[in-house]
Amino acid sequence: MQISLRKLAAIEILFLGTWLIVAEYAGGVLLCAALGLFVLHRSHGLWQLLLGSYLLCLGINYIPLLAYALIVRDTANARQELGDELADVGKAMSRYRTQSLVLLVPLFVPVLILTQGVRKSAGRHLH
């Protein structure tokens, strides 16, 4: 299954609105990072260190999504981004709802972006 973070942002913008999604992603970045840093600063044990690190990594996961939401920006662009996938809205929503679970995996999003970029770059060099 190919994960498209840009399409994930687009479908959320389309059905929930730009401002709500930008606020959600900005909040994900700021609140998770701030809480993670706070927990790390106050940590006295391994579990607190792990929790603080996890929260900080969750905040990092939201940075690319915030950027994609700001790029897509409105419902017209979101519709264009999703294209034919909107023919079956229920299937598209289910697919991207499932994909949104990757946000809970620490640093998955930046690693995904890097690996997809490397694959695209390698593909261009092969042709």
Of all residues in the chain, the percent with pLDDT exceeding 70 is 94
Of all residues in the chain, the percent with pLDDT exceeding 90 is 72
Residue 126 has pLDDT above 80, yes or no: no
> Cα–Cα distance between 28 and 12 in angstroms, integer?
15
* Domain ranges within the chain, ordered by starting residue: 5-126
Residue 121 has pLDDT above 80, yes or no: no
Residue 63 has pLDDT above 90, yes or no: yes
Mean pLDDT, the chain, integer: 91
pTM here?
Answer: 0.86
